[in-house]
Amino acid sequence: MTSLDIFSSTGTGLGAGLALIIAIGAQNAFVLRQGIRAEHVGLVVLVCMLSDIVLIAAGILGIGAVITAVPAVVVAIRLAGAAFLVGYAILAARRALRPGALVAGTQKGSLGTKAALVTAVTLTWLNPHVYLDTVLLLGTLANQHGELRWWFGAGAALGSVVWFSALGFGARFLRPVFAKPGAWRVLDALIAAVMLFLGVKMALGI
């Protein structure tokens, strides 16, 4: 094992991790929204990062093989995740249609610490794509690197740290845009549409 091998495996893991995590989804939408509102950002980002690190490690340790061997587990997770996404879409749609839409500066209708924590955990751990992508796919890719698999995992974990930090703490630069109530209504409408689409797609298994 050389330093070049370590660098290569870590870099590959970083690229794979970023490729899988940078996508429109419930988790990213929630982190973005909290970041724009500057509300429990550190807590939400930390939950998402630590969850990804745990799931990546689980995949490398072979838990992905267990999930694959018991299809019912994946089905149960998929249906639970679909129900939650549809529910989240309904809440976002209500915010978009409500006359007194949220304004970044007022923090009206803000989430409490416990609610933000529960939402972040639920959006992460009830998302079947997390298990399919982070556990199964990244776990499989990591194990192809043999003794360098943990370096691959470290790179993938670094990708999660970089992405969630950038999304959560970088979103504050969008606050001037969301100083107007109409911008929040548009954002919530988009989130509702995406969450509903993902929820239906997940429920149908496509």
The stretch 6-28 carries a mean pLDDT of 75
pLDDT at residue number 41 = 92
Tell me what pLDDT residue 65 has. 66
Mean pLDDT of 86-108: 64
Q: What string of DSSP letters covers the chain?
A: --HHHHHHHHHHHHHHHHHHHSS--HHHHHHHHHHHHTSSHHHHHHHHHHHHHHHHHHHHHTHHHHHHH-HHHHHHHHHHHHHHHHHHHHHHHHHHHSSS---TTTTTTPPPHHHHHHHHHHHHHT-HHIIIIIIIIHHHHHHTTGGGHHHHHHHHHHHHHHHHHHHHHHGGGGTTGGGSHHHHHHHHHHHHHHHHHHHHHHHHT-
Per-residue pLDDT tens digits for 109-164 = 567 889 889 989 988 888 777 777 788 777 777 877 778 888 988 999 998 999 89
- Domain extent listing, the chain: 3-204
pLDDT at 158: 92
Q: How confident is the model at residue 51 (pLDDT cuts 50, 70, 90)?
A: very high
The whole-number pLDDT of residue 10 equals 85
pLDDT at 188: 76
Share of the chain above pLDDT 90, in %: 14
- Supply the pLDDT for residue 106: 41
Is the pLDDT at 18 greater than 50? The verdict is: yes
Give 55-66 pLDDT, tens digit per residue: 999 888 877 666
Per-residue pLDDT tens over the stretch 172-191: 887 787 667 677 778 778 77
Top-confidence residue, 115 or 75:
115
pLDDT averaged over the chain?
78
Determine the pLDDT at residue 50: 94
The number of beta carbons lying within 10 Å of the beta carbon of residue 79 is: 15
* 195-200 mean pLDDT: 75
| pLDDT for res 46 | 95
Q: What region does 200 belong to: left with phi over 0, alpha with psi -120 to 50, or beta?
A: alpha
